[in-house]
Amino acid sequence: MKHQLKFLILMLLPFILWSQNSERNLSSENWSFKKISESKWLPAKVPGTVHTDLYNNKIIPNPFFGNNEKELQWIENETWEYQTSFKISKKELNNQNTILQFEGLDTYADVFLNNRKILEANNMFRTWKVDAKNDLKVGKNKLKIIFKSAVEIGKAKTQKLPYTLPEKERIFSRKAQYHFGWDWAPRFVTSGIYRPIKLLFWNNATIENIKYDQEELNESIAKLNFKVTVNAQLDGIYDLKINEVQKAFELKKGINIIDFPYEINNPKLWWTNGLGKANLYPFEVNLSKNKVQLSLKKLNIGLRTIELIQEKDSIGKSFYFKLNGKPVFMKGANYIPPDSFLPSVTTSEYKNIVQNAVDANMNMLRVWGGGVYPEDVFFEECDKNGILVWQDFMFACGMYPGDSDFLDNVKNEIVDNVSRLQNHPSIALWCGNNENDEGWKNWGWQKQFNYSKQDSTQIWNDYEKLFHQLIPKTLDSLLSKKENRYWPSSPSIGWGKKESLTQGDSHYWGIWWGKEPFEVYKKKVGRFMSEYGFQGMPNIKTLEKVIPKEDLNFTSEAFKNHQKHPTGFETINEYMKRDFPIPNELEKYNYVSQVLQAYVMKTAIEAHRLAKPYCMGSLYWQLNDCWPVTSWSTLDYYGNWKASHFQVRESFAPILLIVSENNNGLSVVGTNDNLEPQAGIVIAKLIDFSGNELWMNSKECVLNSEKNTNCMNILFTELPKFAKDKTVLQLEFICNNKKTVTYHYFVKPKELQLEKPTIEIKIVGETLIELKTNTLAKNLYLQADDTFFKENYFDLLPGVSKIIKTDKPSTAIKIVSMFDLLNE
């Protein structure tokens, strides 16, 4: 008996001594950095970037300020060193396994642990794991990372090819492509430890990865199969518990993949914003042995099916998503990294960006391929809020190499990122790249770079290897058939080609790049509009933060630097001239540029929704900014809503009345994105700008959900005589006591005969104001220091009292409306 007890204790000893796995984040250690050729070490922040560290040490001025970008280009050519020393305890070293995990090294990083090189990293998007057990010692340990210049390495690689690939050195590095500058981004080819470095300690066994397949899903049951990858130190019997279900498994030393079925009765489905709740089921996956917990992982699962439907039809081929068997019109925007220096973005900033998408009635965001695979928090917020994600792989607007080193590197990048992200219910689509295919076929690179036939064949073969073979094959190995939705390139066909409007997804840039009148949006509607857009200036305060007062004019270098499109202001001006007055004063110009952008967005979104179900998606370019700049974004760098974001919220509302004018009159079409038809009443009123009702009509109308409903036709002959420049048609749809209001004007904004409005503002609650006017106040803009008005840039008619919520009490409210511009 005594012997038996001894034996048992001996057997259990490893599990008593080394129990649960643990981790330690090395970000909290003291880090320092320097240029390699210098001797003085300076304090550094981890995660961080070279640029922000230089700035924090007052070596460089604020990179976003004035024209500083130009002066800071030297940084990209240098080699930078980071180091820290950290203590390891005896207990830590006693762990059976110690892994050093680098979650984001930007980009060419040689890592030394206690002076021995343990890693040569060359891909910002990968997670690097190094077995560090034998290199660590009790007491002080030194970790040093040398970052070589991505620009220098890229340039050296350009020399090795017999031809020049668009876009020069940028495409050789697996590094965020927007760091090299974009038509909305400054060029800051930074480097550094941009995501945490962790020490992972584990004993006996650890859960390395969890995936699940949704094998069956209906109203009564969800059948899941978890695939849990466990790395075991020794052969033996282990217990795996998923929520309340526990099972024993015999594991072999090394990697084991455990199948674990799990059922949920009467499952609640995951729905997108606007269609229902984004129900999530929390799961805890627990690995233990002899009742000692070894490893624990948590995940939230959303039960849903997503299908990308591409079926031939009389016009071309459909392109739409079905969620839980229902076709869903996708409304949203393209998302770019929210900062040039990614570690500066806080968790709450990520949350706000997603919340702003939710608030604007979106249900999809496209993560554009020139940035990074976003942080976990971004996807967690999309999961919680019912926002689907169209996830590009990180390739944009260029042609990429096809050598085996490059392809291997990309393969590992895909494995790392798909493994990290695949369990998020929000993931709708994996897309190979942004505009590489379109660029190759339509942007004249062959001529520009003078390619021989042989060069062209080689470059295109390399494209096919990467986007038609390597990536889809890797996805096949990682994803179940049901979750494997891959689309090689967005758009599939360039906007100059007519097929781009009959099949696939489409980027329509005839407006803006092609300078076509924006009414053309009505004709150029594709099956799924994944990009289109128009620039608007950021909030004036945003500009004031980064441009010195004396430079706040269109001619200063500092000002010009905060517009990255080659003909940016010229293009804005040209469009503004067509429809709006052009103010001389900057603040007013800023206001009109925003109203213009909103006006263009309204036209585009309405055209896309009017074409439902031919068109089943409208994702505009672009949601957010990475620095303070004039761009296509509807949220500026500091998260301020431009006029366009208010407009987008209105135009993406689940129910929308769309008015189209023809020679004989007007038609009023109702579009309804709910799952059920909506019965209501349409009330149309012709009102002059002083508030007199000239005509009215009303009609009951049931809005279908799968296709649009023509609710009312108004012939000009039924209307009394009215002055087109002094009258507005107000349309309301009243359904379940909810009112949707739309205004239709008969002439361009610059032709409107506006009177000076007298606007009465009353504070009616701590965060409530009431507004009234005596004559139409067009695009009324409310401004008060740091106050967010939940509605803004709206039209206010006499006779209407509008109550507006603010996020904080506000007193000194400034008001601008279109009248102020027309009568400068």
194 part of the interface to ligand BMA, by CB under 6 A: no
Spatial separation of the C-alpha atoms in residues 562 and 546, rounded to whole Å = 9
Least Å distance, CB 510 to ligand BMA, is 12
The residue written with tokens 């007199």 in the block is 692
Least Å distance, CB 370 to ligand BMA, is 6
Which residue in the set 435, 505, 650, 688 belongs to the binding site for ligand BMA (CB under 6 A)? 435
Of 435 and 795, the one with the shorter C-beta distance to ligand BMA is 435
Strand partners, 227: 211, 259
Strands (E) in 395-491, as ranges, are 427-434, 486-490
Least Å distance, CB 336 to ligand BMA, is 8
Least Å distance, CB 509 to ligand BMA, is 6
184 part of the interface to ligand BMA, by CB under 6 A: yes
Least Å distance, CB 182 to ligand BMA, is 5
The residue written with tokens 């640029």 in the block is 51
**Alpha carbon 652 to chain centroid, angstroms:** 17
The residue written with tokens 């739409």 in the block is 320
Of 437 and 531, the one with the shorter C-beta distance to ligand BMA is 531
Of 380 and 625, the one with the shorter C-beta distance to ligand BMA is 625
Q: Cα–Cα distances in Å, from 617 out to 333, 354, 368, 490, 529?
A: 10, 19, 16, 13, 6
**Closest C-alpha among 497, 478, 338 to residue 411:** 478
Of 182 and 430, the one with the shorter C-beta distance to ligand BMA is 182
Least Å distance, CB 170 to ligand BMA, is 13
Contact 564, 74 (CB under 8 A): no
Spatial separation of the C-alpha atoms in residues 572 and 593, rounded to whole Å = 7
Residues that contact ligand BMA, how many (by CB under 6 A):
10
Which tokens sit at 814?
């400034």
**Closest C-alpha among 720, 624, 127, 20 to residue 338:** 624
**Closest C-alpha among 645, 618, 634, 675 to residue 390:** 618
Of 141 and 633, the one with the shorter C-beta distance to ligand BMA is 633
State which residue has the least CB distance to ligand BMA: 183
434 part of the interface to ligand BMA, by CB under 6 A: yes
The residue written with tokens 């890797």 in the block is 474
Of 207 and 330, the one with the shorter C-beta distance to ligand BMA is 330
Q: Cα–Cα distances in Å, from 379 out to 374, 391, 399?
A: 8, 11, 29
Of 318 and 434, the one with the shorter C-beta distance to ligand BMA is 434
Query: Which segment (18-26, 129-137, 176-184, 679-687) binds ligand BMA by CB under 6 A?
Result: 176-184
Which residue in the set 507, 524, 609, 645 belongs to the binding site for ligand BMA (CB under 6 A)? 507
Which residue in the set 397, 623, 712, 771 belongs to the binding site for ligand BMA (CB under 6 A)? 397
Neighbours of 18 (CB within 10 A): 20
505 part of the interface to ligand BMA, by CB under 6 A: no
Of 621 and 689, the one with the shorter C-beta distance to ligand BMA is 621
Query: Which segment (33-41, 120-128, 182-190, 308-316) binds ligand BMA by CB under 6 A?
Result: 182-190
Contact track, ligand BMA, 515-554, x by CB under 6 A:
----------------x-----------------------
Spatial separation of the C-alpha atoms in residues 430 and 391, rounded to whole Å = 5
Residue 650 CB burial class (10 angstroms; 0-12, 13-18, ≥19): buried
Contact 629, 637 (CB under 8 A): yes
Which tokens sit at 201?
């300690």
* Size (the chain), residues: 824
Contact track, ligand BMA, 617-636, x by CB under 6 A:
----x----------x----
Q: Residue 160 contacts by C-beta under 8 Å, 6 or more apart in sequence? A: none
Amino acid at 296: L
Which residue in the set 78, 92, 183, 499 belongs to the binding site for ligand BMA (CB under 6 A)? 183
Least Å distance, CB 511 to ligand BMA, is 12
271 part of the interface to ligand BMA, by CB under 6 A: no
Least Å distance, CB 648 to ligand BMA, is 17
Of 64 and 395, the one with the shorter C-beta distance to ligand BMA is 395
Least Å distance, CB 193 to ligand BMA, is 28
Least Å distance, CB 506 to ligand BMA, is 11
* Full DSSP string of 768-807: EEEEEESS-EEEEEEE-TTPPBSS-SEEE-TT--EEEEBS
The contact set with ligand BMA (CB under 6 A) reads: 182-184, 397, 434-435, 507, 531, 621, 632
